Amino acid sequence: MKATLILANGAVFHGRSIGAAGERVCEMVFNTSMTGYQEVLTDPSYAGQGVVMSYPLIGNYGVNGEDNESARPWVEAFVVRHLSPRGSNFRCQYGLGDFLRKHDIVGIEGVDTRALTKILRSQGSMNGMITCAEHFNVNEVMEKLKAYRVTGTVERVTCPRPETYPACEEERCHVAMLDFGVKRNMVECLRRRGCRVTVLPAHTPAREVLAGGYDGVMLSNGPGDPADNGDIIREVRKLYESGLPLYAVCLGHQLLALATGAKTGRLDYGHRGGNHPVRDIAEKRVFITSQNHGYVVLAETVDPAVAEVSHVNVNDGTCEGLRYKRPNCFTTQFHPEASPGPKDTEYLFDRFVASMGGEG
């Protein structure tokens, strides 16, 4: 079946349908990872977005039931140069094409993803539509693309009720994880370090968190514009003022920055992939990190009496982490649980556990 991708700038790409038949409007972004497509598809931070994989061969090791980062995929659409017709790996349970169809994800292959990525990189992320229709009205499509905006995504991806996960071994700490779109491996990294983790819905009031007897609070990753979450930001401010050990990642990092007076801004095309170099200023080391974000904390707006920049993106100099002046509070923009290096930045979980009185 034929499929067509239309971008908001008028560019049109023709290819073949590899997922669910139909039509999907979303924000188109690109990811530079060579592997990890299953983790990308199930990362809640991609809610409302279509992902272009810049690496040309996708699906070659198939899909399994163990590597999902959440209970379901969140990507709206998937764009690849070539979809492997079968997966070749001892852990493979079924093909990527079957996975896309099962979860109603619209996909297209046969697209020049190099040219498409260059457009998104030079002109910025933009809305797009994938359609399997033989005929469509370009003017109507452009109106749909103009009207579309990624909103309400935190409410879509957060858990409906608290869920508690026991420590893998002897329990040392009890962590409250505010779920703005948490990835499963983030919880597992804490569990392996002796933490019982209670995952809480995004809009849980601070008073409930503070009354829960937790040793520390973690603010998770998640999708969308951080500035859209005014109610959450006000509650995050209360958690910050409580003095509890606090660690925040990605969207959580941005929300805490906004809660303490800093500002965020939109990147032209974002950071998405498993190969982004980040410098830890204190450690004087560069780590290869996994990232997925379209917004960034503006370093020049951070009050030096409140926090200082702790990590910097080597490619463009943007803020990748903050160390707050109040005790036991730090944040990172990148994902320490995703292990692209392969486990370089997991030391941040050790630091968080140590701040709660557990062993680092």
d(CA 174, CA 176): 7
Query: Cβ contacts of residue 261 below 8 Å, gap of 6+?
Result: 301, 303, 306
Question: Is position 250 annotated as part of the catalytic site?
Answer: yes
Query: Cβ contacts of residue 126 below 8 Å, gap of 6+?
Result: 7, 8, 9, 27, 28, 120, 145
Which listed residue (27, 69, 320, 337) is catalytic? Answer: 337
Which listed residue (271, 276, 311, 335) is catalytic? Answer: 335
d(CA 219, CA 175): 10
Please name the helix (run of DSSP H) or strand (run of DSSP E) that holds residue 187, with its range, or none.
helix 184-191
- Contact present, 117 and 95 (Cβ < 8 Å): no
d(CA 227, CA 237): 14
Instruction: State the virtual CA torsion across 276, 279, 285, 290 in degrees, nearest 10.
Output: -30
Question: Is position 335 annotated as part of the catalytic site?
Answer: yes
Radius of gyration over every alpha carbon of the chain, rounded to an integer in angstroms: 20
Which listed residue (173, 195, 250, 329) is catalytic? Answer: 250
Q: Which residues are catalytic?
A: 250, 335, 337
